[in-house]
Amino acid sequence: MTTKPKEKPSRFDPEPVPRRDFLGLAALGSMALALLVSAFGMLRLPKAAVSASPSKKFEVDIPDALPAGEAFVPPGRNVAVFRDTEGVYAISTVCTHLGCIVKALPNGFECPCHGSGFAADGAVTKGPAPKPLPWLKVTARGNAVVIDEETTVASGTKV
Amino acid sequence: MENEERTALNTFWHNLRAVPVDLYRAMFRGGAPVTDRTRSSFVFGNVFLHLHSVRTHLWSLRWSATMGLGIITTAAFLITLVTGVLLMFYYKPYPDVAYHSIKDIHFIVPTGRFIRNIHRWAANVMVVAVILHMARAFYTASYRKPREFNWLIGWGLLVTTLALSFTGYLLPWDQLAYWAITIGANIAQSPREITDAMGITEWMDIGGLQREILLGSDIVGEESLIRFYLLHVMILPIVMAMLMAVHFWRIRKDGGLAKPADVNERVSVSQPEHYPVFTEEPKKTYQLAAVVKGRTPAVGSGPENTVPSMPHLFYAELGILMFTTLICVALALVSDAPLKELANPLVPENPAKAPWYFLGLQEIVSFSAFMGGIGIPMLCWIGLGLIPFLDKETEGTGEWFGGPGGRRLALWSMVYGFATSIAVEAFAIRFGWLREWFPDVPQLVITFLNPGTVITALYAGYSIWALRRFNSTRAGALALFTCFLCGFIVLTVIGTYFRGPNWVFFWSPADWKAH
């Protein structure tokens, strides 16, 4: 059924979008928008602004008798500290695959969870780990060193 | 008595004596379900029962139609609900305290150990039953029109079930829990494997965000425990209950279970034994009044072969509920839920294993965190959801292994599915993979080319072959679904029984090296 459009629309003609429909749609739309915005607002809540975890920076006394190339694991930390003739360096022991704690062996590291293997400098030698173990920032403080687990440095940086 | 005056006091005594009978009548207005009419009002007059239709087709009552798997899942859920609420009397969601409260439940609380065991076993039964129920719905092609939406609701229920299991796994705060959740949270973070390779992690760290929202912190700690607890006892059960209500309601609204087109020729009751069977389609007044869409019942349109849901369907359902309870209680009596040492964030459990139904995933995660933990599962999940929209054929609906290829194709797909996954796994276990051969291979290559993706690709190729061979989308779906089910079984068995410390292959746990 096709009707020829009139030249001049009369006020008795049906509106293209009837006023009631328009108002109804506008009301629904604004409600949907309000819900959407509030949902985003509510989603903001679970993303914590401050992470409730212990400090990642700590001071450690390295035992004098630590042989070169042997790992010293400060109590309560997931870090292996080494000392050789060039200086002190620290390698994270958190596996880059899925966060298990790797075990320091004489010539590298191995992960108990999915069998990733790492060389003594943290490079991946086998298994699913996507990245080498990161080296952590070490700064000297008197006889002790301060290790910052949150700051990684280039592999080979010794202090 | 006759000339006893009708005083208000007498009326009061009379009414008081009648309270039990009146209360009963007020509750069950329809009367005892003994006639066709009262059996009907028994169902539609009850808010819980009316999710069922008033009458049930004889085909749907046959054992082979459903094997009761949906009801087993529901029953297991109800059992976890009751036992879970009981455990909440003593459980305290705070690290270390949580562990000791579980120990209290295990050793001190009267019946505590028994209730916790039932809870754990019911959760396991639920996971098994929900997977088998999905397989039943798939193999009987019950996902087809008009049941596409209900397949999707079931798809959501599968994920909710697994999420409930996973969140429950952390709550004891023992070594097993702690390291399984550490691995799980890092799987959520594994999109970094891709963003790192593309060098965009700094601007768009989806993985990191997912992990942060899940854990509420950058470590698995008190924030994570309260989040998992909230999900486990509040958010997910509510989601589950709502989805379940929709799922059951839709069964009825979609016309009951899927049935073959010629179902009435197959199930014809000439001599009803206990109760008259409707031989004509009942007058559905909503349809006659054109209030709802649907076919208007034609008078004398042949036998409909339905029986009243009360008692035929409900007694079957109650029987399955009792059976499920029996299974859970029996398992709880013979096997205790595990509780290892207190969680220690410094020393991982070795091997650190997730619950058994995630060990298939853990097996492919041991090749690539992203593909194994997110890529392939997402692919499977999206594929499952799309099944009803990709296969719109009508042949074989409501029949086991219905459709072109049928039972034979399913059998061959099973052989292929088992053989392929075992062969690829055996190869990777025996000869290693890319990193062992070329130590400098880029991570992105391993992410996309590893035993997990190879198995997936082999399955996809086979499915396309089946689709072309039988010129049928159903055949393709049948091949692919069967393959993935077999792959799931093979990987789960390998992850459960053949992986030891450092995720090394062992023929038996007796060979595990001391560590």
- Looking at the complex, report in whole angstroms how far the Cα of residue A13 sits from the nearest Cα belonging to chain B: 32
Tokens 């959740």 locate to B181
Find, in chain A, the residue whose alpha carbon is nearest to that of B213: A47
Q: Which of B96-110, B196-210, B364-378 has the lowest mean pLDDT?
A: B196-210
Which own/partner contact pairs does B384-387 have at CB distance under 8 Å and 24+ positions apart?
A: B384/B134, B384/B155, B384/B158, B385/B151, B385/B152, B385/B155, B387/B138, B387/B143, B387/B151, B387/B477, B387/B481
Q: Do A47 and B209 touch (CB under 8 A)?
A: yes
CA nearest to B192, candidates A135, A111, A152, A130: A130
Q: Which chain A residues touch B365 with a CB distance below 8 Å? A: 98, 114, 128
Q: Which chain B residues touch A46 with a CB distance below 8 Å? A: 213, 216, 227
Q: Do A112 and B351 touch (CB under 8 A)?
A: yes
Span B451-479, average pLDDT: 94
pLDDT attached to residue B297? 46
Other Cβ atoms less than 10 A from the Cβ of B16: the count is 9
Q: Which of A84-88, B272-276, B511-515 has the lowest mean pLDDT?
A: B272-276
- Looking at the complex, report in whole angstroms how far the Cα of residue A47 sits from the nearest Cα belonging to chain B: 5
**For the stretch A82-98, what's the b/e string if a residue is b when 16 or more beta carbons lie within 10 angstroms of its beta carbon?**
bbeeeebbbbbbbbbbb
Distance CA B475, CA B466 (A): 6
Of B212, B222, B365, the CB nearest to A98: B365
Span A101-107, average pLDDT: 88
Question: Which of the residues A42, A101, A114, A124 would you substitute to probe the B interface, choosing the one with the greatest number of B C-beta atoms within 10 Å?
Answer: A114
Of residues B454 and B303, more confidently modeled: B454
Does the pLDDT of residue B282 top 80, yes or no? no
Does the pLDDT of residue B280 top 50, yes or no? no
Confidence label for A50 from pLDDT (cuts 50, 70 and 90):
confident
Of B212, B369, B501, the CB nearest to A98: B369
Of B185, B227, B503, the CB nearest to A115: B503
- B480-to-B144, B457, B484 alpha-carbon distances in Å: 17, 11, 6
- Looking at the complex, report in whole angstroms how far the Cα of residue A54 sits from the nearest Cα belonging to chain B: 9
A/B interface, count of CB pairs below 8 Å: 99
Q: Which of A5-19, B351-365, B469-483 has the lowest mean pLDDT?
A: A5-19
% of chain B at pLDDT higher than 70: 91
Of A53, A99, A110, the CB nearest to B183: A99
Contact B343, B94 (CB under 8 A): no
Q: Which chain A residues touch B212 with a CB distance below 8 Å? A: 47-48, 51
B57-262+310-349: CATH topology is Cytochrome Bc1 Complex; Chain C (1.20.810)
pLDDT attached to residue B5? 66
Q: Which chain A residues touch B179 with a CB distance below 8 Å? A: 100, 113
pLDDT attached to residue B302? 44
Does the pLDDT of residue B311 top 80, yes or no? yes
Distance CA A125, CA B29 (A): 75
- Domain(s) of CATH 1.20.810.10: residues in chain B: 57-262+310-349
Confidence label for B248 from pLDDT (cuts 50, 70 and 90):
very high
Q: Which chain B residues touch A127 with a CB distance below 8 Å? A: 366, 435
- Looking at the complex, report in whole angstroms how far the Cα of residue B342 sits from the nearest Cα belonging to chain A: 15
Question: Which of the residues B231, B441, B443 would you substitute to probe the A interface, choosing the one with the greatest number of A C-beta atoms within 10 Å?
Answer: B443
Does the pLDDT of residue B448 top 70, yes or no? yes
Q: Which of A8-12, B60-64, B98-102, B405-409 has the lowest mean pLDDT?
A: A8-12
The residues, any chain, with a CB within 8 Å of residue B513's CB and separated by 6 or more, are B500, B501
Q: Do A128 and B367 touch (CB under 8 A)?
A: yes
Does the pLDDT of residue B276 top 80, yes or no? no
Confidence label for B20 from pLDDT (cuts 50, 70 and 90):
very high
Of residues B86 and B206, more confidently modeled: B86
Q: Which chain A residues touch B362 with a CB distance below 8 Å? A: 114
Of A52, A115, A130, the CB nearest to B366: A115
Confidence label for B478 from pLDDT (cuts 50, 70 and 90):
very high
Tokens 């080498």 locate to A132
pLDDT attached to residue B300? 42
Distance CA B227, CA B90 (A): 18
Q: Which chain B residues touch A115 with a CB distance below 8 Å? A: 366, 502-504
Of A48, A78, A110, the CB nearest to B502: A110
How does DSSP classify residue B509?
Answer: G
Tens-digit pLDDT profile for residues A117-130: 899 888 888 888 88
Of A52, A111, A126, the CB nearest to B217: A52
Does the pLDDT of residue B301 top 70, yes or no? no
The residues, any chain, with a CB within 8 Å of residue B214's CB and separated by 6 or more, are B185, B188, B224, B227
pLDDT attached to residue B513? 67
Q: Do A46 and B182 touch (CB under 8 A)?
A: no
Q: Which of B16-20, B286-290, B322-326, B371-375 has the lowest mean pLDDT?
A: B286-290
Q: Of how many residues is chain B composed? A: 515
Q: Which of B20-24, B395-399, B484-488 has the lowest mean pLDDT?
A: B395-399
Token output for B216: 């509420």
pLDDT attached to residue B327? 96
Computed on alpha carbons and rounded to an integer, the radius of gyration of chain B in Å comes to 27
Find, in chain A, the residue whose alpha carbon is nearest to that of B188: A98
Candidates 3.40.50.2300, 2.102.10.10, 1.20.1430.10, 3.60.10.10; CATH matching A57-153 = 2.102.10.10
Tens-digit pLDDT profile for residues B140-183: 999 998 899 999 999 999 999 999 999 998 899 999 889 888 88
pLDDT attached to residue B4? 59
Highest mean pLDDT among A68-72, A74-78, B181-185, B464-468: B464-468
Question: Which of the residues A98, A105, A125 would you substitute to probe the B interface, choosing the one with the greatest number of B C-beta atoms within 10 Å?
Answer: A98
Q: Do B439 and A47 touch (CB under 8 A)?
A: no
Q: Do B352 and A113 touch (CB under 8 A)?
A: yes
Span B406-420, average pLDDT: 94
Question: Which of the residues B222, B503, B512, B515 would you substitute to probe the A interface, choosing the one with the greatest number of A C-beta atoms within 10 Å?
Answer: B503
Contact B342, B94 (CB under 8 A): no
Q: Do B515 and A52 touch (CB under 8 A)?
A: no
Q: Is B491 helix (H, G, I), strand (E, B) or coil?
A: helix
Tens-digit pLDDT profile for residues B175-190: 988 988 888 888 888 8
Q: Let me know if B489 is exposed, middle or buried by CB neighbors in 10 A (0-12, 13-18, 19+).
A: middle
pLDDT attached to residue A26? 92
- Looking at the complex, report in whole angstroms how far the Cα of residue A96 sits from the nearest Cα belonging to chain B: 9
Map B318-365 to HEC letters.
HHHHHHHHHHHHHHHHHCCCCCCCECCCCCCCCCCCCCHHHHHHHHHH
Confidence label for B514 from pLDDT (cuts 50, 70 and 90):
low
Q: Do B352 and A124 touch (CB under 8 A)?
A: no
Find, in chain A, the residue whose alpha carbon is nearest to that of B178: A100
Q: Do A130 and B365 touch (CB under 8 A)?
A: no
The mean pLDDT of chain B is 87
Q: Do B196 and A131 touch (CB under 8 A)?
A: yes
Q: Which chain A residues touch B216 with a CB distance below 8 Å? A: 46, 48, 52
